[in-house]
Amino acid sequence: MDSNRLRAVVGASRPLTIAEHQMRNADIEGVYGEVCSPVLDKTGERLDYTEMIASPGLWATDDMLHAIASWLPSRQARISFHANPDSFLQTVSPDGETTWIEHPSIATELDRQWLRYVSSTISQSVRTAAIVEVFGSDSTA
């Protein structure tokens, strides 16, 4: 029965296909605050830059962490970052006045990787969000 329900809504000019297309092309708002997206609204997921940016250990992939660490000036700093990225970002940078999270290169790369994470999260959830849109949140499809 579920396969028949899905077949009935998939294809050109059919509801599930239209919903997926609209969600894939929807603007993402508030990337550097509370992220607003029709996909996140439908899946109930919440992403908030201000709560999460200082904790890349919770959201960043290994590849993202390597990209962030590549901006650190020494091998020892990169090793310390990989050991505990969240704590490392709160330590004082070599200028003695700012923490690593405030360092311009690191802050820029954190923002770049955050955007990558948000885009990936939304992209991976489009099908689920479209199913919720078409069948309702209590769907077993």
Secondary structure letter of residue 54 according to DSSP: T
Note the pLDDT of residue 15: 66
Within-domain flag for 113: yes
Q: What is the pTM of this model?
A: 0.80
**pLDDT at residue 23 tops 70:** no
pLDDT at 40 over 60: yes
pLDDT at 70 over 80: yes
Structural domain includes residue 41: yes
pLDDT average, residue stretch 31-49: 93
Instruction: Output the pLDDT for position 141.
Output: 43
pLDDT of residue 124: 85
69 within some domain: yes
Residue 97 falls inside a structural domain: yes
Residue 40, in any domain of the structure: yes
Residues contacting residue 63 through CB under 8 Å, at least 6 positions apart: none
Number of domains in the chain: 1
The CA distance from 2 to 97, in Å, is 60
Has residue 68 been placed in a domain?
Answer: yes
Q: Which residues share a beta bridge with 92?
A: 99
Tell me which residue of 54, 78, 80 sits closest to 68, measured CA to CA: 78
Domain-located, residue 101: yes
Long-range contacts of 71-77 (CB under 8 A, 24+ apart): 71/105, 71/106, 71/109, 72/100, 72/106
Distance CA 110, CA 105 (A): 9
Average pLDDT score, the chain: 87
Asked, for residue 141, whether it belongs to a domain, the answer is: no
Q: What's the pLDDT at 5?
A: 65
Cα–Cα distance measured from residue 56 to residue 53, given in angstroms and rounded to the nearest whole number = 6
Structural domain of residue 8, as residue ranges?
Answer: 2-135
